[in-house]
């Protein structure tokens, strides 16, 4: 008998969703916008449900479901996972829609950079009292100005670009069409080269670069998640972190077996069996399984997945409770399997009870527990 529990997914980008996602996976991805009164709020879309631009309203004028990031940072469970247990946070800074008139509107490139600088400065001030490790957080954006903006600020935070550049205007279909030339002109290895050149610690990208027809049509060396394409990816990547969205049920295990990180829209406690037939484990980094336990879990009949996973969640030691030798053994095995190129001494500095190396493969809750609107990334 397959067990099932009642569960309602929290609204995306809410404190409830993000705290849950942080607890049930290796970390979360969240979206921030800057209000009229310079407050950073948790919100993805360019407009609220009522058709208003968040950047044109004060915090008090925004709908009740839009919460300030301070509310999240005050949550002890979220902070404990982030600062003490090795969980990761991806923070996406959202530029305003050009029609809002903010950040220079449709024309002013300087205004866009100034807006991004303000967001970074505000975020940095809020994060300063929190002791987060160097390998636990990335700040990224589809706006290319994030790189130039970050270089004008003295910060220990790590920054990256989301590629290809998805515009803030138009519906999801229009955004994809506009981004298509950039997608076609860049294979995943080319994107990795660009990220490395910019000093980015990781590459966030679409699953289209690795799976499906689209992965075969962009210019440059093609890579993938199986066979020779996976071999090429592993050798070229050399451990360079690649965060992939969406991590769907038919691709999640492939991403993890490739040593990549997947951003999932499904953290339901009832999602215990992947479409590939594998039992699902959503904490490969912060509650890692040995090869023996993973093999045993893989051999568990589907009808017993829920029970087996529930047992392992109680039995398997989380990352922060492992001994130094156990943590180092995991990192050494991962490094050999996926050909990490960084020196052992550097990896050791990031391998502590509260942090893991950048290269580690994770499951990340997209917008907490998954997107709950009809739009895109």
* Contact (CB, 8 A) for 275 and 377: no
> Band of the pLDDT at 178, cuts 50, 70, 90?
very low
Res 76: pLDDT: 98
The pLDDT score that the predictor gives to residue 374 is: 54
| pLDDT value, residue 5 | 85
Q: Which among 230, 157, 242, 150 has a CA at the least distance from the CA of 191?
A: 242
- The confidence score (pLDDT) of residue 359 equals 98
pLDDT tens per residue across span 197-222: 999 999 999 998 998 656 565 556 78
Please report the pLDDT score of residue 255 as a whole number. 98
Distance CA 193, CA 188 (A): 9
pLDDT for res 182: 56
Looking at residue 279, what DSSP letter applies?
A: B
End-to-end CA separation in angstroms for the chain:
36
Instruction: Give the list of residues 6+ apart from residue 351 with CB closer than 8 angstroms, or none.
Output: 327, 328, 331, 357
Helices (H), 304-350: 305-315, 324-337, 344-350
Residue 242 DSSP SS3: strand
The DSSP code for 280 is P
Please report, for the chain, the start and end positions of each structural domain, with discontinuous segments joined by +: 15-366
Distance between CA atoms of residues 324 and 333, nearest Å: 14
Query: 164: pLDDT confidence band, cut at 50, 70 and 90?
Result: low
Share of the chain above pLDDT 90, in %: 83
Nearest CA among 216, 181, 162 for reference residue 377: 162
Specify whether domain 15-366 bears CATH 3.30.420.40.
no
Q: Identify the H or E element spanning 41.
A: strand 40-42
The predicted-structure confidence for 97-113, as pLDDT tens digits, reads as follows 999 999 888 876 789 99
Query: 41 with 302: CB under 8 angstroms?
Result: no
Query: Which of these, 210, 295, 292, 202, lies nearest to 254 by C-alpha position?
Result: 210
Question: What is the widest separation between alpha-carbon atoms in the chain?
Answer: 61
Q: What pLDDT shows up at residue 186?
A: 74
What is the C-alpha separation between 375 and 357, in angstroms, rounded? 32
Which residues does residue 341 pair with via DSSP β-bridges, in sequence order?
none
Q: Average pLDDT for residues 58-76, to the nearest whole number?
A: 98
Q: Which residue has the higher pLDDT, 69 or 174?
A: 69
**What are the φ/ψ torsions at residue 363 (nearest 5 degrees)?**
-110, 125
Residue 109 CB coordination number (10 Å):
12
| pLDDT for 168 | 56
Residue 179 confidence class, pLDDT cut points 50, 70, 90: very low
pLDDT tens profile 319-368:
999 999 999 999 999 999 999 999 999 999 999 999 999 999 999 999 99
Q: How confident is the model at residue 187 (pLDDT cuts 50, 70, 90)?
A: confident
pLDDT in tens, 288-325: 999 999 999 999 999 999 999 999 999 999 999 999 99
What local confidence, expressed as pLDDT, does residue 280 receive? 98
On average, the pLDDT of the chain sits at 92
pLDDT at 12: 98
Q: Report the percent of the chain where pLDDT is more than 70.
A: 90
Strand, helix or coil at 47? coil
120-141 mean pLDDT:
97
| Mean pLDDT confidence for 40-66 | 97
pLDDT > 70? residue 165: no
Helix or strand or coil: residue 18? helix
């Amino acid at each position: 008998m397959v067990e099932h529990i009642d569960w309602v997914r929290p609204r995306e980008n809410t404190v409830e969703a993000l705290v849950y996602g942080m607890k049930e996976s290796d970390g979360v991805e969240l979206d921030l916008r800057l209000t009229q009164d310079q407050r950073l709020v948790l919100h993805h879309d360019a407009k609220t449900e009522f058709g208003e631009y968040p950047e044109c309203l004060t915090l008090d004028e925004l709908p009740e479901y839009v919460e300030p990031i301070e509310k999240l940072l005050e949550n002890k469970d979220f902070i404990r996972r982030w600062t003490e247990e090795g969980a990761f946070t991806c923070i996406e800074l959202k530029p305003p829609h050009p029609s809002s008139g903010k950040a220079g509107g449709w024309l002013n490139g300087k205004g866009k950079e100034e807006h991004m600088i303000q967001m970074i400065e505000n975020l940095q001030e809020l994060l300063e009292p929190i002791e987060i490790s160097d390998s636990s957080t990335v700040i990224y954006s589809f706006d290319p100005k994030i790189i130039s903006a970050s270089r004008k600020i003295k910060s220990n935070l790590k920054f990256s670009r989301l590629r290809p550049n998805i515009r803030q205007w138009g519906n999801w279909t229009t955004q994809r069409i506009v981004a298509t030339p950039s997608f076609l002109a860049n294979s995943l290895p080319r994107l990795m080269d660009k990220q490395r050149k910019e000093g980015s610690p990781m590459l966030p990208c679409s699953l289209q670069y690795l799976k499906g027809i689209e992965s075969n049509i962009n210019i440059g060396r093609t890579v993938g998640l199986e066979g020779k394409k996976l071999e090429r990816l592993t050798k070229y990547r050399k451990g360079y972190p690649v965060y992939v969205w969406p991590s769907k049920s038919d691709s999640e295990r492939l991403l993890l077996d490739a040593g990549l990180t997947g951003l999932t829209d499904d953290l339901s406690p009832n999602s215990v069996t992947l479409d590939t037939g594998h039992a699902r484990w959503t904490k490969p980094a912060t509650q890692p399984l040995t090869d023996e336990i993973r093999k045993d879990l893989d051999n568990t009949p589907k009808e017993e997945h829920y029970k087996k996973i529930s047992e392992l969640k109680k039995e398997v030691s989380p990352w922060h409770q492992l001994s130094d030798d156990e943590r180092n053994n995991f990192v050494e095995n991962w490094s050999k399997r996926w050909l990490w190129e960084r020196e052992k001494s550097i990896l050791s500095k990031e391998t502590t009870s509260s942090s893991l190396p950048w290269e580690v493969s994770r499951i990340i809750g997209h917008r907490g527990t998954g997107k709950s609107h009809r739009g895109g990334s």
